[in-house]
Amino acid sequence: MFMQGEETQHTERDRLSVILAVTLASATLFRFIELPTLIWGVRHILGSPLQLAFGGNWLLALLMVGLVATGTFSLIQGHPHRETQERLLIFSLINPALGTLLASLLLIRAASWPVWLVTLLVGGVLIGLLIHLNYRAFSSESPGYTSARTLLNIADYLLGFALTSVILQAQERALITGPAIFLLITLLAFDLLSASGADWPMVLLFGGIIALLVSEMAWVLGYWPISTWTAATMLTLELYLLSGLSYQYLLGRLTRKVLLEFGIVAMLMFVLVLWIRP
């Protein structure tokens, strides 16, 4: 049994090393290649001009996310406890993919070589850690399952805050930021709720409702003169509240006491955010 565990760890490290090597090598290659930007013509939607641009930066982000997602899929397929999985395998790809997206966006924004190199190294560590945690949290029989799942939940909220801030800082029209936030929150809600072990139709239903409510809040905050950080914090707080209550409901543990606890925490955090106003 001990030898089997050692062999599994070696297999995971070997495959994880390959995933990181290919992903970071691709990111490095794009640093030396400048691709043209394709711009689709301006269209007037609701009386305002709108155009779409696709260039090397977006291609880099899509390539890195695709490599990490497919690599994670291949790694988890060989999990020794695949038969005891509590959720669909595809849900385990969400967290590493979003972490990779954040790393790629930071690489795109790196202004100098030293900053780019540090970002590449930190991004590699982040991606590797997220893949490792998802591998450990794939089955409740995996060693370190509880701590891995807890860290992944924390990572989901941090990624939600960071990526929401990036979307809001772009200062695009609501026609663009709205669907972007909806898609982001949908993926995060799926990852958080699927850990409950509930059937995937229920996860999709509750995740979609949460994403819709958070997107509506983002639309309202767009008319409020607050900073990007404050808006991102409030949206992340709403995600925490709604996903936490939904998670407890899916587990059959939603009681008045739980509602009161979440309500108090959410209210205290809301008041603190308004007071600090970062």
3-state secondary structure the chain: CHHHHHHHHHHHHHHHHHHHHHHHHHHHHHHHCCCCCEEEEEEEECCEEEEEEECHHHHHHHHHHHHHHHHHHHHHHCCCCHHHECCCHHHHHHHHHHHHHHHHHHHHHCCCHHHHHHHHHHHHHHHHHHHHHHHHCCECCCCCHHHHHHHHHHHHHHHHHHHHHHHHHCCCCHHHHHHHHHHHHHHHHHHHHHCCCCCHHHHHHHHHHHHHHHHHHHHHHCCCCCCHHHHHHHHHHHHHHHHHHHHHHHCCCCCHHHHHHHHHHHHHHHHHHHHHCC
Q: Mean pLDDT throughout 144-148? A: 89
2 pLDDT above the threshold of 50: no
pLDDT in tens, 51-86: 556 566 778 888 899 999 999 998 988 877 777 777
Identify which has the larger pLDDT, 255 or 83. Answer: 255
Predicted TM-score (pTM) of this structure: 0.87
- What is the percent of the chain where pLDDT is above 70? 85
Q: Mean pLDDT throughout 148-159? A: 94
Q: Report pLDDT for 12.
A: 75
Q: Report pLDDT for 153.
A: 94
183 pLDDT above the threshold of 90: yes
Q: What pLDDT band is residue 90 in, cutting at 50, 70 and 90?
A: very high
**What's the whole-number average pLDDT of the chain?**
84
pLDDT in tens, 187-245: 999 999 999 888 899 999 999 999 999 998 888 887 777 788 888 988 999 999 999 99
Q: Report pLDDT for 6.
A: 52
Q: Report pLDDT for 4.
A: 45
Q: What pLDDT band is residue 3 in, cutting at 50, 70 and 90?
A: very low
pLDDT in tens, 259-277: 888 888 888 877 777 776 6
